[in-house]
Structure 1
Amino acid sequence: MNIAITGADGFLGWHTRVLARALGWPEPTVLTRADLVDPEVVAAKVAGVDRVLHLAGVNRGDPVEVATGNVELAAALARGLKLCAVPPRTVAFANSVQAANGTPYGDAKAVAAETLASTGLDVVDVRLPNLYGEHGRPFYNSVVATFCRLLADGGRPEVHEDRELRLVHVTDAAAHLLGVSAPGSWDAEMPEVRTGVREVADRLAGYAALYRAGEIPSLPDRHAVRMFNTYRSHCFPAHYPLPLPRHADARGELTEVVKSYGGQGQTFCSTSHPGITRGEHFHLAKVERFAVVRGSAEISLRRVGHDEVVRFPVDGDSPMVVDMPTMWAHKIVNTGPGELLTLFWTNELYDPQRPDTYAEPVESELREPVESAVMTSRASVDTTPRLTGRSGR
Structure 2
Amino acid sequence: MLKLALTGGGGFLGWHVRVLLRALGWPEPVIITRADLADPRVVGAKVSGVDRVLHLAGVNRGDPAEVAEGNLRLAAQLAAGLRVAADPPACVVYANSVQAGNGTPYGDAKADAARILADTGMPLEDVLLSNLYGEHGRPHYNSAVATFCRVLAEGGRPEVHTDREIALVHVTDAAARLVGVPAGGSWDPTMPALRLGVRELAERLAGLAATYRTGEIPVLTDRHLVRLFNTYRSHCFPAHFPLALPRRADVRGELVETVKVHGGAGQTFSSTSHPGVTRGEHFHLAKVERFVVLRGTAEISLRRVGDTDVVRFPVSGDAPVAVDMPTMWVHKLVNTGDDELVTLFWTNELFDPACPDTWPEPVESRIPKPAVVAA
Equivalent residue, structure 2, for 1:374? 373
Equivalent residue, structure 2, for 1:124? 125
Q: TM-score, normalised by structure 2?
A: 0.99
Per-residue deviation at 1:63? 1.1
Alpha carbon RMSD of aligned pairs, Å? Answer: 0.8
Which letter does structure 1 place at the counterpart of 2:149?
C
Equivalent residue, structure 2, for 1:185? 186
Which letter does structure 2 place at the counterpart of 1:374?
V
Partner-residue secondary structure (3-state), 2:69 = helix
Distance in 2 (alpha carbons) for counterparts of 1:77 and 1:92: 12
1:103-139 per-residue CA deviation (whole Å, 9 max, x = no partner) reads 1110110010000000111100000000000000000
Which letter does structure 2 place at the counterpart of 1:217?
P
Distance in 2 (alpha carbons) for counterparts of 1:279 and 1:291: 14
Is 1:248 the counterpart of 2:249? The answer is yes
Distance in 1 (alpha carbons) for counterparts of 2:317 and 2:211: 24
Per-residue deviation at 1:147? 0.2
- Residue pair 1:36, 1:77 contacting (<8 A) in 2 also: yes
Equivalent residue, structure 2, for 1:73? 74
Equivalent residue, structure 1, for 2:240? 239
Equivalent residue, structure 1, for 2:36? 35
Q: Would you identify which runs of 4 or more consecutive aligned residues in structure 1 move more than 3 Å?
A: none
Distance in 2 (alpha carbons) for counterparts of 1:264 and 1:172: 25
Q: TM-score, normalised by structure 1?
A: 0.94
Distance in 2 (alpha carbons) for counterparts of 1:211 and 1:9: 30
Distance in 1 (alpha carbons) for counterparts of 2:207 and 2:218: 8
1:25-67 per-residue CA deviation (whole Å, 9 max, x = no partner) reads 0000000000000001101001010100000000001111101
1:292-311 equivalences in 2 (<5 Å): 292-311=293-312
1:194-209 equivalences in 2 (<5 Å): 194-209=195-210
Distance in 1 (alpha carbons) for counterparts of 2:367 and 2:286: 25
1:216-235 equivalences in 2 (<5 Å): 216-235=217-236
- Number of residues of Structure 1 aligned to a counterpart in Structure 2: 374
1:254-273 equivalences in 2 (<5 Å): 254-273=255-274
Equivalent residue, structure 1, for 2:339? 338
Equivalent residue, structure 1, for 2:285? 284
Which letter does structure 2 place at the counterpart of 1:33?
R
Partner-residue secondary structure (3-state), 2:18 = helix
Per-residue deviation at 1:367? 2.3
Identity %: 72
Equivalent residue, structure 2, for 1:386? none
- Residue pair 1:363, 1:369 contacting (<8 A) in 2 also: no
Partner-residue secondary structure (3-state), 1:14 = helix
Per-residue deviation at 1:194? 0.4
1:323-347 per-residue CA deviation (whole Å, 9 max, x = no partner) reads 0000000001001110000000000
1:162-173 equivalences in 2 (<5 Å): 162-173=163-174
Equivalent residue, structure 2, for 1:2? 3
- Residue pair 1:296, 1:314 contacting (<8 A) in 2 also: yes
Equivalent residue, structure 2, for 1:379? none
1:98-113 equivalences in 2 (<5 Å): 98-113=99-114
1:132-171 per-residue CA deviation (whole Å, 9 max, x = no partner) reads 0000000000000000000000100011111001000000
Equivalent residue, structure 2, for 1:380? none
Equivalent residue, structure 1, for 2:97? 96
Which letter does structure 1 place at the counterpart of 2:174?
A
Distance in 1 (alpha carbons) for counterparts of 2:182 and 2:20: 13
Equivalent residue, structure 1, for 2:16? 15
Partner-residue secondary structure (3-state), 1:146 = helix
Per-residue deviation at 1:264? 4.2
Distance in 2 (alpha carbons) for counterparts of 1:184 and 1:82: 38
Gaps of 5+ in 1: 377-393
Per-residue deviation at 1:182? 4.5
Partner-residue secondary structure (3-state), 1:126 = strand
Distance in 2 (alpha carbons) for counterparts of 1:90 and 1:262: 45
Partner-residue secondary structure (3-state), 1:105 = helix
Distance in 2 (alpha carbons) for counterparts of 1:369 and 1:47: 34
